Each structure stands twice: as C-alpha cells, then as structure tokens.
Amino acid sequence: MQNKARRKTGLKASPRAPFEINGVTAPAGKLTQVELRLARLPTGMWISLPVGVLHGRREGPVIWVSAAIHGDELNGVPIIRHLLDAIDPRRLSGTVLVVPVVNVQGLIQQSRYLPDRRDLNRCFPGSKRGSSAAQLAHLFMTEIVARCELGLDLHTGSGGRTNLPQLRCDLDEPGTLRLAREFGAPVLLHSRLRDGSLRAAAREIDKVVLVYEAGEASRFNTKAIEMGVEGTLRVMKSLGMIEDSVQGPKVAPRISRASSWVRARRTGFCEMTVHLGTEVAEGDSVAVIFDALGQDRSSVKAKHHGIVIGHVTSPLVHRGDAIAHIAELPETVGSEGE
C-alpha cells in the first residue's frame, strides 16, 4: 500500500541510512570494503582485518560471517567469496558483515595459532591493552560482534583431522535450534560453551553464534564449501534477509546431545575402517592399528552408538592419540526429535 501511494503522489522512498564502521560510511545497496587496523609491523606498515559490508536497501537483521579464527582453517574463505557473489545488496534486507580472515598473522604463517602460540578462540572477549591475541579478540568483539544479532563462524578440523559438515550451537534455545535446522548440516551437535571462545563471549552480550565445522585444515573441500554457502543462505532466507529460492537440505539433520573421541591404545600405523558419516554401533571397529610388518594388529572400537563426525588423517599415530570423533545418537534411528 505504501509503495502504491508513493507511485501515485510521485514521492520516492527515503533511502536507508548508511552503515558506519570504523569511521567508514557504507552506503545502502553496495558492498563496501573496510580495513580494521590491528597492529604495526616492524616496517611501520599495518596489519589489518579485511571486512566486507553488504548493506541492504531494506531494514532487517545485522549478522556477521567470519572465517579463519584459526589461521590454517581455510574453507570459510571461499565460502565467504561465494556468498558475496550470491547476495545482491540492492535486494538485501538488513546488513551482512563478512570477515574472511580473522587471524591474519596465523594465516600468513600457515599456523592455527597467533605468533605468540595463543589460540585466538580461547582469548575472547579480549582487552584493548592486553596481549596481541587479546587485542585482536577485543577489536573483533567491539567492531563486529557488538553490531550484530547473529554470527556464523566457519571452521574446519584442526591439523591432522577432518570433520564431517556439522553445526555446533546451543540446541536448548528454541530460536537457535530453528536456525540450525534451517542451515541443514548433516549433524547438529549440542555444544557446551568453552571459556575464552567467541561463542561464549558473544553469549555474554546476548548474541547467537552458529559454528560450522567441515573439512580439514590447509585444504579446500568442495562439498564442505558448497554446504556452507547453501546453509548460510538458508539461514538468511529464514531471517527474511533474502528472497532468492534456496533449496532445502536433502536429508533431515541428525541431532546429537554429546560426542567423544575414541583414542589409540598403542603406537603404530592407522588405517580407518569407517568414513565420515558412517553410523556405528557400540563395539564396531573404526580403525586398525598395526606395526611396520602388519603382524601386530589391534582394533579401535566405538564405545557407543553414533555417527562418525571426525577422524584422524595421519597414518602414523601414538598411544593416546584421538582417532575417531563420534557423535552419540539414540539407539532407534529417527528418535532424535526429527
């Protein structure tokens, strides 16, 4: 009715106010690139966080999508690239802040950690005058998280491990569970908050974070990337931010309330007998460990019924090493509330 009235009177709709970030004015209907200065190098040059601001022409939620909090977890970088190609800011309701590389120094060094060996995802919310990790965490919290209502944080397995596409979040919160279902990852894992994590710090200021885990460090995984793009677009559609037709997930997600790693009981060469997504029963073999001649063998067995959501990729393992990550499932398939 309002649009018809404007056409009859010749009045134009008022343009949406620009989005202000770090002294930069991002106009509606465009992608604006912003650099958040973090620290000076010895050369005097700045290390900066690259940020993209997709500011829609219509009112709506403000969300962020971040990747590479661990500097070697790279799948999120192409996910964000494809999102920027898929989202037209002229038709967007709301605003999307994208940060393809949070841990810039870790990325440059091809390392999970910052140069001081700190895990950035244990340093939130940070502080303005703390360590370099604390300063980075504080910058991200104040300039990105505080401006948003919801965040999607993109991860992979750590070095030497690979993950089935999965979403980790608080499944006890109905709104979060609804969004997690919309994302459509094969497994939704109820995940407790860890001190110092981005998710825990965001929760303290009433922000919701969905953590997407898929693939392995230092590698691009095409299927994991595609699922990350499609899942994010489905979440945005459910929030009313986009109108584009996005296909729903082909299979309903499996819901797990807990998970645990099965560990090696001896040192040797490891050959997996299951794949990501394999459903196992208690006592099923998930791997075989053997010596150089292949004569002294031992089987690594599942401790409970569940689905394999991660496993080691290195063929050489030591006693106590994590071999397979199994998300627990109810004994009866389909009884997890689907």
User: Terminus-to-terminus CA distance in the chain, angstroms?
Assistant: 40
Highest CATH level, class, for 13-254: alpha beta
- Please give the pLDDT value at position 40: 86
- Please give the pLDDT value at position 295: 86
The answer to whether residue 331 scores a pLDDT higher than 50 is: yes
* Interval 131-136 mean pLDDT: 94
Residue % of the chain over a pLDDT of 70: 93
- Please give the pLDDT value at position 166: 98
Length of the chain: 338
Domain boundaries, the chain: 13-254, 258-328
Q: Which fold has domain 258-328?
A: OB fold (Dihydrolipoamide Acetyltransferase, E2P) (2.40.50)
Q: Are 20 and 61 in contact (CB under 8 A)?
A: no
What is the average pLDDT score of the chain? 92
The answer to whether residue 218 scores a pLDDT higher than 90 is: yes
**Segment 245-298, tens digit of pLDDT:** 788 887 889 999 999 999 999 999 999 999 999 999 999 999 999 999 988 899
Domains 13-254 and 258-328 share a fold: no
* Interval 7-28 mean pLDDT: 76
Q: Which two tokens stand for residue 27?
A: 């106009």
Residue % of the chain over a pLDDT of 90: 85
Q: Which two tokens stand for residue 200?
A: 């825990």
Evaluate the omega torsion of the peptide bond into residue 27 and state whether it is cis, within 30 degrees of 0: no
CA atoms lying within 13 Å on the CB side of residue 338: 19
- Please give the pLDDT value at position 138: 97
Task: Specify the 3-state DSSP secondary structure of 27.
Answer: coil
Helices and strands per DSSP (H, E), number in the chain: 7, 19
Q: Are 134 and 153 in contact (CB under 8 A)?
A: no
The answer to whether residue 177 scores a pLDDT higher than 50 is: yes
pLDDT band at 14 (very low <50, low <70, confident <90, very high): low
Predicted structure pTM score: 0.91
Q: How far apart are CA 163 and CA 175, in angstroms?
A: 25
Q: Determine which of 127-141, 261-275, 318-332 has the lowest per-residue pLDDT on average.
A: 318-332
* Interval 115-135 mean pLDDT: 94
- Please give the pLDDT value at position 70: 98
* Interval 75-90 mean pLDDT: 97
